[in-house]
Structure 1
Amino acid sequence: MIRFEHVTKRYADGTTAVDDLSFEVAEGELVTLVGPSGCGKTTTMKMVNRLVEPTGGSIHVAGRDIAATDPVDLRRRIGYVIQQVGLFPHRTVLENTATVPRLLGSGRAAAHARAAELLDLVGLDPRTYGDRYPDQLSGGQRQRVGVARALAADPPVLLMDEPFGAVDPVVREHLQSEFLKLQAQMRKTVLFVTHDLEEAVRLGDRMAVYGQGRIEQFDTPATVLGAPVSPYVADFVGADRALRRLAVTPVEEGHLERPPVVRIDDPLPRAALDGSRAVVVDEDGRPYGWLPAAPAAKGTVRELARPMDARVALGASLKEAFSAMLRYDAGWVAVVAGGGEGDGRYLGVLTPDRLHEALRRSVGEAADAGVTPR
């Protein structure tokens, strides 16, 4: 979808912002560009919509050389989200979101209908927020409007320049989660600029680690963390890169232990427990709680079950599972069927030992599959 071929950007004072850059972004892929300030990542992104013109090489979007495309028309068909959002202060949220469809010739009613649909998609009820002005919104809400506006013309390509950098860490993490859900539905081709390694790892299908004007490594986050190709990349991702792999290693069925299971309305199975804790599930097979290894002599399973709040969906990251353990001070985490078709059925538990084992295996597999670090 996006292809850079030997692209260079050199300014009049001799500064080279981007030096002989070649890479491709596949259709529907989210690629994060990460590196220190001044390394050329924002320049790279701005060349895609011709806010910055390259001094050498070519850039193709959907098979077309953008140099042969009118820049205004190009920008109207590429979504663009920036840290400062850039909403028009004198227009309502609905009008802001409808801006690009209106510029592309949609009638007012159609543009507003599209805007309302997208506001709802990003979690802002248009009946509540549509008539508000930007200064009546929180920072996180303004960022959501910015994303909705960028998607309003249904662009195949989305450029995002530090879009969540101006909000506090809690809101930032929530926006990242919501954007991942949105991307799973819409599968836009995304270039996402960030200086935050954690954000790059969490969001990117692949990530480009920049040195000065050049990409030092371009691979999946798991491979970059597990097998950095140079001392520079190893230093950039940090000595604790193995721990960062918690965020990119999913919980799989092979990681799970399966202690005894009893149903909520079963008789108390003292003999069946045989010194083991048991998981209690409801009539639909969802986790309800747990029984201690030596439950009280009297009472029903329902009465004696203790809460089991620590749970994650299959496919969630090991980091999410570890966070749940810490948040609930739990010795295990219930893993349930998740995802778009998930129904919350109990599958097994992830223990600290199994989590550690899964992380070590993940690091080892990345080192075996990736380029041997220098």
Structure 2
Amino acid sequence: MIRFEHVTKRYADGTTAVDDLSFEVAKGELITLVGPSGCGKTTTMKMVNRLIEPTDGRILLDGEDIADADPVELRRRIGYVIQQVGLFPHKTILDNTATVPHLLGRPRKAARARAAELLDLVGLDPSVYGDRYPDQLSGGQRQRVGVARALAADPPVLLMDEPFGAVDPVVREHLQNEFLRLQSTLHKTVLFVTHDIEEAVRLGDRIAVYGAGRIEQLDTPATVLGAPATPYTAEFVGADRGLKRLAVTPVEAADLDEPPVVRLDDPVSRAADALSAADAPWAVVLDTDGSPYGWVAADALTGPAADRTAGVRDLARPMTAAVPLGTPLRQALSTLLQHDAGWLAVLDGDRYRGVLTPAALHGALRRATTADAADLPRDEVALDTVPRT
């Protein structure tokens, strides 16, 4: 969709902002450009919509050299979101969002109808926010309007220059979640500039790590974190890249422990026999629908006070912590900590698949890192462990 061929940007004072850059962005792909200030990432992005003209090389958009396009028409076909949003203060939110469709010749009524659809898509009810002005919105709401406005003409390409950098961390995370939801539906081709490696890891299908005017590594977040290509990349992503890796490593079925399973309506005798056969200290308890209810300890089933004619329901302890299969390990760890739990139930849809423990979570991270370094499927990696004494 976007192709850079030996692109260089050199200024009159001799400064080279971008040096011989060649890479491609596939249709529907989101690439995050990450690096320190002055490394050339914003220059790269602005050359796509010709806010900055390259000195050498060429940029192709869907096979066409953008140098042959009228700059104004080109920009109207490319969505552009910046940190400060740039909304017109004298226009309502609905009219701000309708600006580009109107410029492209849509009737005012149709442009406003499209704007209302997009405001709703980014979580702003047009009946509530449409008639407001930018200074009547919070920073996070203005950023949502900026995204809606960039999408208003249904552009195939979206350029985003640190769009969430001006809001507090809580709002920023919420905006990131909303944007990921939108992207999973719209599948735009996106160049996303950020200086935050965690944001780059979280959002990007691939990450371009910039050095001085050039890309040091362009790969998936998992590979950049697990196998940095250069010492510069390793230093930039940080010594704690293993922790960052939690955000891009999903929970897989092979990561799960499978303790004994009993049913809420089972008699104590049957549950005790199951735990004894497995030599297990506890069991997961499922309700009558097969959904996780909680757990029961072996001691409660076999102790002197245990009534073997009673039901598991009388002894089971509720445990509501659960995550879907495919959840990032970071989110799973957060859920463990939130519930102060020793394990999480993992679900595939409504079906119980197993439990994730802290030890299993650590093993999943180790396997993922080793798999990337060795270019192996994750389920083919066996781990050496230190035996317990």
Give the TM-score, by structure 1 length. Answer: 0.93
Cα RMSD for the two superposed structures: 1.8
Matches within 5 A, 1:217-256: 217-256=217-256
Instruction: Give yes or no for contact 1:262–1:281 (8 Å, CA) kept in 2.
Output: yes
Matches within 5 A, 1:143-222: 143-222=143-222
CA change 1:147–1:300 in 2 (3 A) is farther
Instruction: Quote the residue 2:100 is aligned against.
Output: 100
CA change 1:38–1:292 in 2 (3 A) is same
Q: Distance in 1 between matches of 2:133 and 2:316?
A: 50
Task: Please report how far the alpha carbon of residue 240 of structure 1 lies from its aligned counterpart in structure 2 after TM superposition.
Answer: 1.8
Task: Please report how far the alpha carbon of residue 283 of structure 1 lies from its aligned counterpart in structure 2 after TM superposition.
Answer: 4.0
Instruction: Give yes or no for contact 1:270–1:294 (8 Å, CA) kept in 2.
Output: no
Select which of 282, 286, 297 maps to 1:277: 282
Give the secondary-structure state (helix, strand or coil) at the position aligned to 2:346. strand
Give the TM-score, by structure 2 length. Answer: 0.89
CA change 1:307–1:145 in 2 (3 A) is farther
Task: Please report how far the alpha carbon of residue 300 of structure 1 lies from its aligned counterpart in structure 2 after TM superposition.
Answer: 5.0
Select which of 315, 326, 330 maps to 2:337: 326
Identify which range, 82-91 or 206-215, moves more after superposition. 82-91
CA change 1:121–1:305 in 2 (3 A) is farther
Is residue 2:285 matched to residue 1:293? no
Identify which range, 274-283 or 145-154, moves more after superposition. 274-283
* Letter paired with 2:290: G
Larger Rg: 2
Select which of 340, 345, 354 maps to 1:348: 354
Give the secondary-structure state (helix, strand or coil) at the position aligned to 1:294. helix
Structure 1: runs of 5+ lacking an equivalent: 338-342
Per-residue deviation, residues 88-122 of structure 1 (Å, max 9, x unmatched): 11112111111111111111222122111111111
Give the secondary-structure state (helix, strand or coil) at the position aligned to 2:257. coil
Structure 2: runs of 5+ lacking an equivalent: 377-389
Is residue 2:12 matched to residue 1:6? no
Instruction: Quote the residue 1:340 is aligned against.
Output: none
Q: How many residues align?
A: 365
Q: Distance in 2 between matches of 1:31 and 1:66?
A: 20
Task: Please report how far the alpha carbon of residue 304 of structure 1 lies from its aligned counterpart in structure 2 after TM superposition.
Answer: 4.3
Per-residue deviation, residues 239-270 of structure 1 (Å, max 9, x unmatched): 22222211111111111112233344444554
Q: Distance in 1 between matches of 2:159 and 2:101?
A: 18
Q: Distance in 1 between matches of 2:125 and 2:216?
A: 43
Q: Distance in 1 between matches of 2:265 and 2:151?
A: 49
Is residue 2:322 matched to residue 1:316? no
* Letter paired with 2:207: M
Give the secondary-structure state (helix, strand or coil) at the position aligned to 2:293. strand
Give the secondary-structure state (helix, strand or coil) at the position aligned to 2:166. coil
Matches within 5 A, 1:62-141: 62-141=62-141
Instruction: Give yes or no for contact 1:284–1:345 (8 Å, CA) kept in 2.
Output: no
Sequence identity percentage = 75
CA change 1:77–1:284 in 2 (3 A) is farther
Q: Distance in 1 between matches of 2:13 and 2:329?
A: 48
Task: Please report how far the alpha carbon of residue 302 of structure 1 lies from its aligned counterpart in structure 2 after TM superposition.
Answer: 4.6
Q: Distance in 1 between matches of 2:192 and 2:125?
A: 26
Instruction: Give yes or no for contact 1:97–1:145 (8 Å, CA) kept in 2.
Output: yes
Give the secondary-structure state (helix, strand or coil) at the position aligned to 1:155. coil
Give the secondary-structure state (helix, strand or coil) at the position aligned to 1:242. helix
Q: Distance in 2 between matches of 1:286 and 1:198?
A: 34
Instruction: Quote the residue 1:25 is aligned against.
Output: 25
Instruction: Give yes or no for contact 1:335–1:346 (8 Å, CA) kept in 2.
Output: yes
Instruction: Give yes or no for contact 1:59–1:65 (8 Å, CA) kept in 2.
Output: yes
Select which of 355, 358, 361 maps to 2:364: 358
Q: Distance in 1 between matches of 2:317 and 2:91?
A: 53
Give the secondary-structure state (helix, strand or coil) at the position aligned to 2:341. coil
